[in-house]
């Protein structure tokens, strides 16, 4: 395929993404999901006419980028199970760098690295959740080894919403699902709030990040780092604040655990407990001392609970197999 053809297909797929249309490849087939009325007749015709070219392009892009999505800081040889972690707005894979050192040797921690930060700093940020999910799911299609044994998904704040939507996407594509979904400091989809911090001034956004605390608060207080970090945070805020859950989504068939600090701030306890609506399986809510970033100061307690949760889920699955 010529460079001109590659540029054309890249622009075409970007145009679809900008219109809310997710497009991906799965087992040699072209799949897409589009809001009602979003797929124009001329785009549909192009997809029919250029189906094989679009498929080849998507497969190549996914292969080239797949490995960059995942970081295993402490690789395990034949782990019994994995914990795949997704960071908060402005966060990165390194947020979970030490978790593997604090969990048993039979659990491998894998961190998802979003584009536009750390070693992916040269890549474009993604400010749309469906597009992020489509690309992440494509990466897992290309790297099935990350799903070759039982695993749990953990997401903090924005990462909780990403983890939930990823479960829905994996189910739609027929890929292995996690044995447990753990959502931290994140309101349930039915409790989404109408917020617009991605539209406020830099100063107002800095104030909001400082209020929440965490590593990002340290970055925005540094005059040397602010110009590098603030665009990432604003993009992530746009991603989560413009996210609209599918009102017709079907609950997941896996346990869900919501974890929060006991200093709730804007996250009402009912926001966390509403995650019970998203599963046909067991649900529980765990509280720890602290605020939005409670898991920093309570890391050992949090990881002890996570270890117990995913281990019990794994053992229960084996007993019914």
Q: Closest Cα partner for 264 from 240, 293, 238? A: 293
H/E stretch holding 225? none
Active site residues: 157
DSSP 183: E
Dihedral-angle region of residue 59 (phi above 0 means left; psi in -120 to 50 means alpha; beta otherwise): alpha
Beta strands 107-112; 70-71: pairing state:
antiparallel
Beta strands 180-184; 256-261: pairing state:
parallel
- Angstrom distance (rounded) from CA 153 to CA 163: 6
Taking the mean position of all CA atoms in its chain, how far away is CA 248?
Answer: 20
Instruction: Tell the residue number behind the tokens 């597009």, with chain if given.
Output: 131
**Tokens linked to 95:** 């947020």
Q: Return phi, psi of residue 72, to 5°.
A: -110, 100
Per-residue DSSP letters for 266-318?
TS-HHHHHGGGGGBSS-EEEEEESSSTTHHHHTHHHHHHHHHHHHHHHHHHHH
- Angstrom distance (rounded) from CA 161 to CA 155: 7
Dihedral-angle region of residue 116 (phi above 0 means left; psi in -120 to 50 means alpha; beta otherwise): left
């Amino acid at each position: 395929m010529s460079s001109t053809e590659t540029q054309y297909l890249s622009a075409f797929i970007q145009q679809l993404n900008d219109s809310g249309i997710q497009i991906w490849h799965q087992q040699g087939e072209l799949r897409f999901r589009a809001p009602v009325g979003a797929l124009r007749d001329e785009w549909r015709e192009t997809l029919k006419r250029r189906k094989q070219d679009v498929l080849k392009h998507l497969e190549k892009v996914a292969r080239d980028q797949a490995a960059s999505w995942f970081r295993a800081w402490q690789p395990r040889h034949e782990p019994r199970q994995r914990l795949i972690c997704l960071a908060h707005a402005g966060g990165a894979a390194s947020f979970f760098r030490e978790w593997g050192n604090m969990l048993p040797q039979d659990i491998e921690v894998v961190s998802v690295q979003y584009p536009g930060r750390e070693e992916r700093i040269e890549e474009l940020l993604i400010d749309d959740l469906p597009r992020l999910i489509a690309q992440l799911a494509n990466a897992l299609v290309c790297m099935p080894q990350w799903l070759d044994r039982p695993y749990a998904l953990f997401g903090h704040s924005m990462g909780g919403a990403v983890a939930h939507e990823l479960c829905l996407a994996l189910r739609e594509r027929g890929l292995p699902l996690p044995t447990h979904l753990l959502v931290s400091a994140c309101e349930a989809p039915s409790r989404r709030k109408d917020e617009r911090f991605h539209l406020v001034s830099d100063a107002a956004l800095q104030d909001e990040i400082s209020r929440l605390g965490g590593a990002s608060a340290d970055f925005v207080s540094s005059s040397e780092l602010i110009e590098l970090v603030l665009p990432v945070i604003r993009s992530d805020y746009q991603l989560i604040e413009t996210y609209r859950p599918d009102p017709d989504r079907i609950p997941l068939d896996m346990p869900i655990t919501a974890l929060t600090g006991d200093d709730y701030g804007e996250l009402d306890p009912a926001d966390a407990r509403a995650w019970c609506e998203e599963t046909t399986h067991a649900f529980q809510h765990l509280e720890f001392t602290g605020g939005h970033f409670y898991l920093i100061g309570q890391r050992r307690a949090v990881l002890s609970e996570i270890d117990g949760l995913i281990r019990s889920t794994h053992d229960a699955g084996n007993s019914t197999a």
